[in-house]
Amino acid sequence: MGDKVIFFDIDGTILDHNKEIPKTTRETIQKLKSAGHHVAIATGRAPFMFEDLRRELNIHSFVSYNGQYVVFEGEVIYENPIKKETLENLLQFADKENHPLVFMSDVNMMSTTGDHPLIEESMGSLKFTQPEKNRNYYLERNIYQTLLFCEIGEEERYTKQYSELKLIRWHDVSTDILPSNGSKAEGIKQLAKRLNIPKENIYAFGDGLNDLEMIEFVGTGVAMGNAVPSLKEIADFITKPVDEDGIQFGCEQLGLLK
């Protein structure tokens, strides 16, 4: 029954809208592990942003930064940082547009500005405070993802300017910036290769725009009931919303808990 790997997004998938883990989700994840399946996380978050969750669920394999930083059982197996020259150019362009950035490494994140309402609003939705200011942080460590803070539609200027970057909006006032070849799907490929598991044995649950490539790539892609419409359109299965025992229902319907 085992020998399958199931990837779960965090926000809107493992965590409900109050950023809490539903009881049935905890129970389901433990049952999956007891059945011999591999359980992993696939998220746009940085590794340091879900350490407590990994500890709580006893999960040690994950795809973070939308595929740019992959860990298998505590060992880093894949990294895809953004080039420093690109970040330098991006910083100059963002300054002209009057948009703040947050540079994110594997251990921390730093802002290009001090307190800013857009940073406060979006980071607050994840229950994180504004990061400290360090405009040169991209020179000090590898940066796997950058956050751009702007109103909807303003990110299009960056898309036109930087073909080597991919922008994915995750909040009304914030957009992820990652390498153009980056995605959760690419990160999952790296982990699946390490596990030597064929694609037909890979499952993934998600709800957002940054889950599109992942849901399309895996053998069985599951959209949460609260997922964006475009994700539901390509999913192999649509489960119930996160706050209606969506993970439990999906795993039961797909025969993962028999």
Of 3, 9, 115, 211, catalytic: 9
CA distance readout (Å), 175 to 106, 154, 155, 156: 19, 10, 8, 11
How many CB atoms within 10 Å of residue 247? 26
How many CB atoms within 10 Å of residue 162? 16
CA separation for the pair 159, 154 (Å, rounded): 10
Contacts of 112 (CB under 8 A, 6+ apart): 91, 94, 95, 100, 101, 102, 103, 133, 135
> What is the DSSP pairing of strand 75-79 with strand 69-72?
antiparallel
CA separation for the pair 15, 22 (Å, rounded): 7
**Tokens standing for residue 93:** 């362009």
Query: What are the two backbone dihedrals, phi and then psi, of residue 212, each rounded to the nearest 5 degrees?
Result: -55, -55
9 catalytic per annotation: yes
Q: Which residues pair with 205 in a beta bridge?
A: 8, 222
How many CB atoms within 10 Å of residue 56? 12
Q: List residues with catalytic annotation.
A: 9
